[in-house]
Amino acid sequence: MLKAVWFQLHWLLGITAGIVLAVVGVTGAMLSFEGDILDALNPGIRTVEAQPAGPLAPAALLPKIRAAAPDRPILGLTVSSDPEKPALVWLALPPGAEATLEVRYVNPYDGTLLGDLRGGDFFQTVMAIHRWLAVGEPGRQVVGASALALVVLTLSGLYLRWPRRWTDWRKWLRLDLSRRGRTLLWDLHSVIGTWLLPFYLLAALTGLYWSYDWYRGALHDLTGTPR
């Protein structure tokens, strides 16, 4: 009886949260190649020529950025430790603009704002879909709930597949290619899901960090790191 309940829950979460998880997974895979793609599209923007004197300190860099964009308040600045990488500056956009901020690349040696980034808007959209389905706070809650559902999916799948005898563990992890039809599809789902279970759990537990303040706070308390 208990196993039947867990099976129904596993099935229900799979066909509901699974849709959101598929979107998050595809966009996450795209973001993992963001740096390489942007480097290829923007050879003179994503890289700078290293100077012997070294990059300017942030305190010296900020006035130069303000002079280049006097009507744009600076919201943040990041200077890379890589001498061939530009700095990143977050500039506020004027009221009424579609977005609230713009990210620009800066030459860390002279404070020059580099050209517009080709492909940047595309990956910002991909990130918005990945984090909150591009619909703000409601989407963030849906993605967070789907990450929680992924935890339940993995653990319920583990429970449903748990071998009756410990000596059966090899069969538990091995795909039987002699099967056909729905039996083979079931075996594919079960075996591949078992092998990927640690990665699913890792993705869910780290993804929750960006969705829920209570989870983020508990994780900092557990690890003893500052919030």
Q: Is 119 left (phi over 0), alpha (psi -120 to 50) or beta?
A: left
pLDDT band for position 99 (cuts 50, 70, 90): low
Could you report the per-residue pLDDT of 49-68, keeping only the tens digit for each?
899 988 999 999 999 999 99
Token representation of residue 156? 């319920």
For the entire predicted model, the pTM comes to: 0.75
pLDDT band for position 75 (cuts 50, 70, 90): confident
Percentage of the chain with pLDDT > 90? 43
Which value, in Å, is the radius of gyration of the alpha carbons in the chain?
24
Domain ranges of the chain: 2-33+128-223, 47-117
Q: How far is CA 18 from the centre of its chain?
A: 17
pLDDT band for position 97 (cuts 50, 70, 90): low
Task: Give pairs for 30-33: CB < 8 Å, separation 24+.
Answer: 30/123, 30/126, 31/123, 31/126, 31/127, 31/130
pLDDT given for residue 1 in this prediction: 75
Helices marked H in 69-180 — which ranges?
120-132, 137-161, 169-173
Can you give 6-35 as a three-state secondary structure string?
HHHHHHHHHHHHHHHHHHHHHHHHHHHCHH
Could you report the per-residue pLDDT of 108-156, keeping only the tens digit for each?
999 999 988 888 889 989 998 999 999 988 999 999 999 999 999 999 9
One-letter amino acid at 196 equals L
pLDDT given for residue 46 in this prediction: 85
